[in-house]
Structure 1
Amino acid sequence: MRTGAAAGRTGYFHEALCYGSDEELLAVVVPFLVGGVEANEPTFVALGERTGNLVRAALPPDTKVEFLSGGDVYARPTAAIRMYRQLLADLVADGATQIRIIGEVPPVGLGPTWDWWARYESAINHAYDDWPLWSMCAYDTRTSAPGVLADVAATHPCFAAVDGRHLPSVDYVAPETFLRETRPMPPDPMQTTPPLVDLLGPTAAQARAAVHQVGQGGLRDDEFDDFVVAVSETVTNGLRHGSPPVRFRLWAGAERIVATVSDAGTGPQDPYAGLLPSANGMPGGLGLWITHQSCNHVTYHRDDQGFTLRLTAGRPLGA
């Protein structure tokens, strides 16, 4: 049965914890975790090193909480969703009637790549709703930008307050609406220079060859190979499901590669495209899901010219 603030609820109970001091963080997190342990619920911490150590030191000795590496869990949004869905399914299969998790997006994710983490925070309201999960997502108001905090309010149905209350978010937006909103796509700094590759109507093979020609050696071999796969999937999607003309552009530096694929269409209709594999056969769903797992950042934009998807590999912007 469900316990604590999640008692009487079904599915996913998704809260934000916006705190202004370490003391405020611990005032909410420690009772949350101890309550889970006392109720014999699987209880997890997926915080960064600093905040994770604070919580570890504040917990009573021998509290049976499992600590996950926040940096590993939240390396990429799609990977986090895939990992958590498998974890939740396994725990429920073992008899869990509620699971508790406290996690946080790593600091680098709160910068220029925040847009895909905002999409993650919205999408998981649907992606985790098959399981009895109660999670808190921690955000430090001292270091989170106003735009980030606005998205937090729009993607979390509730706030966990320091005084023990659990308050509905008046700014919450259903994921099907939030994920369809047009978000700005500021130019990557590398895009201030002319692209090294600019192809109109390329085949996937031609795009792959262009990446090999100008990008080889700038990344680790595994990162480079993943990026080539992402480019191939994205160009193929544009040719199959977009509207001509499809345009592929590429910028490459010592530590990063940036590519854009644009077409004159409106982009994928599935609001969860990229974050979840398409469950209803919507066009391009699997290719975008693969792409989101193969890059360090994927973002997109719709305007009166069409749809543009931007892929980045190597050093994340802002790191």
Structure 2
Amino acid sequence: MRTGAAAGHTGYFHEAIRYDSDEHLLAVVLPFLLGGVAAGEPTMVAFGERNAQLVRAALPAGCPVTFLEGGDVYARPVGAIRSYRNLLADHAGAGAGQIRIVGELSAAQFGATWDAWARYESAINHAYDEFPLWSMCAYDERTTPPAVLADVDRTHPRTALPHDRHVPSPQYVSPEEFLLQDRPAVTDPIEHAPPVADLFDPRPLEARAAVRTAAASAGDGLAGRPVDELVLSVSEIVTNAYVHGLPPVRMRIWAGRGRMVVSVEDGGPGPRNPFAGLLPTNSTTSAGLGLWIAHQSCSHITLHRAATGYTVRMTAGPPYTG
């Protein structure tokens, strides 16, 4: 049975907390957590160290709230979706009528990689909707960039406020619309130099060989598994471009110390499924399978639709955060 503001709601009840002080944050989070505990619901916190300690200190001694390691949960968007779906399935399978989670991203994720996290915030409205989840995502208005806050309003159907107020977001956009919009990526500084390889209509074998050759010029810190995963991702995306896209296909590689960026562009419109790459697919012929593999393997990935075609941009090694 659903309780609190989510009573009577079916599926995912997704809210943002836009707070401007510690007192504001606690005024929303504490009633949320204590309400879950009182109702016997699985109740969890996925905050960074500072805010986790703030909440721990404010909760009654021995309060059975579970604290997740926020940094581990939010390492990569697709990994977060996979981990949370497994967690939610376990609790729902054990009979939970509602699950409560409050979480936050780190400030480092509001820079050059924010596009991927904005897509995450939008996609989970669909990805978690089969579960009786009520979650709140906390954003500090004092430190979060205005553009990020604008996306928060567009990806969260509601905002949670002190005094048990829960208001709809007039700016909310469905994931089916949000995820198909083109969002320009922040250029990685290594892309300011000429690419170390610029291939037109490469076959997968040629693409894989080019990545391995370029990795040798990327300097210390980029070898082994990150390179192997990038090779796999590039092979999948180049294959996708031929099977699901339109000619011509262009692949470019940039390499810097410990990091590589590879873009693959074709003349097609890109996948029609807005969740391609973000959610697993059981189909072996779907464009979403290659994108899913790339999202799992690369440290950062961006997708771009333009009048000239569709571009997938993959990063191996620690991504540029801006």
Range into which the TM-score falls when normalised by the shorter chain: over 0.9
Report if the CA contact (8 A) 2:215-2:223 is conserved.
no
Determine whether 1:46 maps to 2:51: no
**Counterpart-to-counterpart distance in 2, 1:116 and 1:203:** 28
Determine whether 1:284 maps to 2:287: yes
Tell me the CA shift for residue 192 of structure 1: 0.7
1:177-218 deviation line (CA, Å, top 9, x unaligned): 111112122422111100001111111121111111121454
**Counterpart-to-counterpart distance in 1, 2:87 and 2:282:** 20
Q: How does 1:222-237 map to 2 (within 5 A)?
A: 222-237=225-240
* AA aligned opposite 2:291: L
**Counterpart-to-counterpart distance in 2, 1:212 and 1:281:** 26
**Counterpart-to-counterpart distance in 1, 2:166 and 2:192:** 46
Residue matched to 1:303: 306
Q: How does 1:152-163 map to 2 (within 5 A)?
A: 152-163=152-163
**Counterpart-to-counterpart distance in 1, 2:147 and 2:307:** 25
Bigger Cα displacement from structure 2, 281-290 vs 59-68: 281-290
Structure 1: give runs of 5+ residues left out of the alignment. none
**Counterpart-to-counterpart distance in 2, 1:298 and 1:161:** 33
**Counterpart-to-counterpart distance in 1, 2:261 and 2:284:** 29
Bigger Cα displacement from structure 2, 161-170 vs 281-290: 281-290
Q: How does 1:1-319 map to 2 (within 5 A)?
A: 1-216=1-216, 218-278=221-281, 283-318=286-321
Q: Percent identity at matched positions?
A: 60
Tell me the CA shift for residue 279 of structure 1: 6.0
**Counterpart-to-counterpart distance in 1, 2:21 and 2:57:** 16
What secondary structure, in the 3-state scheme, does the structure 2 residue paired with 1:119 have? helix
Report if the CA contact (8 A) 1:17-1:139 is conserved.
yes
Tell me the CA shift for residue 87 of structure 1: 1.0
What secondary structure, in the 3-state scheme, does the structure 1 residue paired with 2:129 have? coil
**Counterpart-to-counterpart distance in 1, 2:79 and 2:103:** 15
Tell me the CA shift for residue 255 of structure 1: 2.0
1:265-299 deviation line (CA, Å, top 9, x unaligned): 11111101111123678731111011111112111
Tell me the CA shift for residue 79 of structure 1: 0.7
Bigger Cα displacement from structure 2, 212-221 vs 13-22: 212-221
1:229-253 deviation line (CA, Å, top 9, x unaligned): 1111111111211111111110111
What secondary structure, in the 3-state scheme, does the structure 2 residue paired with 1:170 have? coil
* TM-score of the pair, normalised by structure 1: 0.96
Report if the CA contact (8 A) 2:112-2:185 is conserved.
no
**Counterpart-to-counterpart distance in 2, 1:252 and 1:57:** 46
Structure 2: give runs of 5+ residues left out of the alignment. none
**Counterpart-to-counterpart distance in 1, 2:280 and 2:145:** 31
Tell me the CA shift for residue 222 of structure 1: 2.1
Tell me the CA shift for residue 30 of structure 1: 1.4
1:31-61 deviation line (CA, Å, top 9, x unaligned): 1111111111001111111111211121111
* TM-score of the pair, normalised by structure 2: 0.95
* AA aligned opposite 2:235: S
**Counterpart-to-counterpart distance in 1, 2:236 and 2:68:** 31
What secondary structure, in the 3-state scheme, does the structure 2 residue paired with 1:51 have? helix
What secondary structure, in the 3-state scheme, does the structure 1 residue paired with 2:278 have? coil
Report if the CA contact (8 A) 1:119-1:179 is conserved.
yes
**Counterpart-to-counterpart distance in 2, 1:254 and 1:58:** 44
Question: RMSD between aligned alpha carbons?
Answer: 1.5
1:58-109 deviation line (CA, Å, top 9, x unaligned): 1111111111111111111111111111111111111100000001122221
* AA aligned opposite 2:177: T
**Counterpart-to-counterpart distance in 1, 2:227 and 2:66:** 34
